[in-house]
Chain A
Amino acid sequence: MSAIVARQLTKRYGDLPAVDGLDLSIERGTLYGFLGPNGAGKTTTIRMALGLIFPTSGEISVLDEPVFASATPGVLRRVGALVEEPGFWKYLSGRKNLEFFARAAGPAADREARLGRIDDVLRTVDLQEASGKKVKAYSQGMRQRLGVASSLLGAPELLVLDEPTNGLDPQGMRDMRRLLRRLADGGTTVFVSSHLLAEVEAICDRVGVLAQGRLVAEGPPSELRAASELLRIDVDDRQSAQRIIAGLSGVQIEPREEGRPSLYVSLSPPATPASVNAALVHSGVAVSALVPERATLEDVFIALVEGADVPR
């Protein structure tokens, strides 16, 4: 039983493919992290999954029902979503927003059920006290939480959340992560798109990396971390070291933020830590530390994304 299945999903704007032959299969009950740089096609994919944007070609189904089979995808009743930013009627209070949203459509039983859940979802996102105030007066964090509350009103089987921790303070982010994990453990499929790699790494069961409209990597976070070892080298003369290393075969400098005192390199044969050390010391560079490190998801992400940036 799958939650989201995309087959050769493509969306072109003129000649430019925003999403390019995407194949995706997400099983129910997974907490799935969707990563990618800006413009990778994450939001376009999400909007197609929700029936907002029509694909140029390919198929997409949600909870085993094709999204574009009929004019109104009824399956969306079982989906909760937060896309880019939450949307509200600013002249209404938080509670009234939820109420009107619950009453906007659907069979009477569905509407009643949603109305009955308003207190619960407000409690879940810790907005009960503020629920009477007009949304105009909410901070960004409060709006974000209200957006998540709104997505939970229908007790959805699938939650599609675009940057759910946007605008939240660290405590809020932690609470959100715990909430998502709890929901996933309870059987809800949670599909999260995020730039925050650390978060995705922390809670997701599976991660998909999207770049230029294609999935460039997919798997559990642990599997995605580089198989090859990263070497951290602390030197006194960074520039000389970089020059020397550039001349060695089998050694690749991994990009890291400037200002960090260490160099990070990944090795493949014939290079070994010892050979790198010897080359540096031989040329007069003092090496104060040589430490193997496992790549984080961020390294993998950057490498994959930069790899995808190479013009075809």
Chain B
Amino acid sequence: MFRVELAKAVRRWRTWALGAALGVIPILIVVGVATSRHGHGNEGPPFINLILKSGLFAPLTALAVLQPFFLPLTASLLSGDAIAGEASTGMLRYLLVRPVGRRRLVVHKYVSVMTLVTIAVLWVVVVGVVAGGIAFGLGALPTLSGSTLAAGAALVRILAAALYAAAGVAGLAAIGLFVSTLTESSPGATVATVVFAILSQILDSIGNLSAIHPYLISHDWTAFADLIRDPVAWQKIVHGLVVDAVYTAVFLSAALVVMTKKDVTA
């Protein structure tokens, strides 16, 4: 089932459109920096000034740009469509009668959604490395702590940052999948999930609510920057992963409960 999901995704034009849209982001960043060689002061996305020093910062800036909206959107689009999409085309009943077990359906759909999300993030990073490398060279990476990392070690950290960013939306994808089991409207599920992500970020910015901030799903999304410290500051990253794991467990279980108990009239 999982392989069939990926094969189907490859054949949809929207997969390629999404890939193109995401891939444009690091290119735009690099072009933007390259065409205005002086620094941006303190404005602009994180690390953007540092791109001048090493093209290796381009993928990191791209990740930072991706996080508030494009990455949650991608996760919401894929997870919201996972089950609601099949329901709306009338395929859900035929899959269940195949028979594909209800639990198996949920799990395989989730795994394929997260696989595609991870591929999307890695794709952005690869484009960023290539574009940044062409424009500014892949020189040693100055860390936020003042030291320098060789290109090879830096690439490892960048890869880790990408994986962390993908893990950051794992909980969101679980929420999207859960909403997807409740409706036959794929766009509806997508929008609901995106709204959840946006609300999380809004709440995260309200000082009075600082007590709940650590439990919001978006709170530690930007912690990937901590990987560019020497030594790596693991605290926020670990916290972020734990929060993701909890959201994922809760909402994936909820999706499983709904799917195994509901009457499928779609």
Interface of A toward B, CB cutoff 8 Å: 47, 50-54, 71-74, 76-77, 79, 81, 83-92, 96, 100-101, 103-106, 150
Contacts and interface: CB of A to CB of B under 8 A. Distances in A.
Contacts of B99: 51, 72-74, 76-77, 105
B265 A105 contact: no
B4 A100 contact: yes
Contact of A92 (B11, B95, B264): B11
Given A51-B99, A105-B100, A83 B13 contact: no
A142 to B, nearest CB: 16
A88 B86 CA distance: 9
B264 A47 contact: yes
A286 to B, nearest CB: 55
B97 A89 contact: no
B3 interface: yes
B38 interface: no
Nearest to A84: B90
Contacts of A96: 11
Nearest to A11: B263
Interface size class of B (residues with CB under 8 A): 20 to 34
27 contacts: A47-B263, A47-B265, A50-B93, A50-B96, A50-B97, A51-B99, A52-B97, A53-B265, A54-B261, A72-B100, A72-B104, A83-B93, A84-B90, A86-B90, A86-B94, A87-B89, A87-B92, A88-B89, A88-B91, A89-B89, A90-B89, A92-B11, A103-B3, A103-B4, A104-B95, A105-B95, A105-B101
Contacts of A106: 98
A274 B97 CA distance: 58
B260 interface: yes
B37 interface: no
Chain A contact residues, majority secondary structure:
loop
Contacts of B97: 50-52, 76, 79, 81, 83
A100 B94 contact: no
Nearest to A72: B101
Contact of B91 (A72, A74, A87, A103): A87
B11 A87 contact: no
A150 B91 CA distance: 12
Contacts of A47: 93, 263-265
Contacts of A91: 11-13
A173 B60 CA distance: 62
Contact of A101 (B3, B89, B94, B260): B94
B53 interface: no
Contacts of A54: 261, 263
Nearest to A92: B11
Contacts of A100: 4, 7-8
A105 B261 CA distance: 21
Given A72-B102, A91-B13, A105-B99, A150 B94 contact: yes
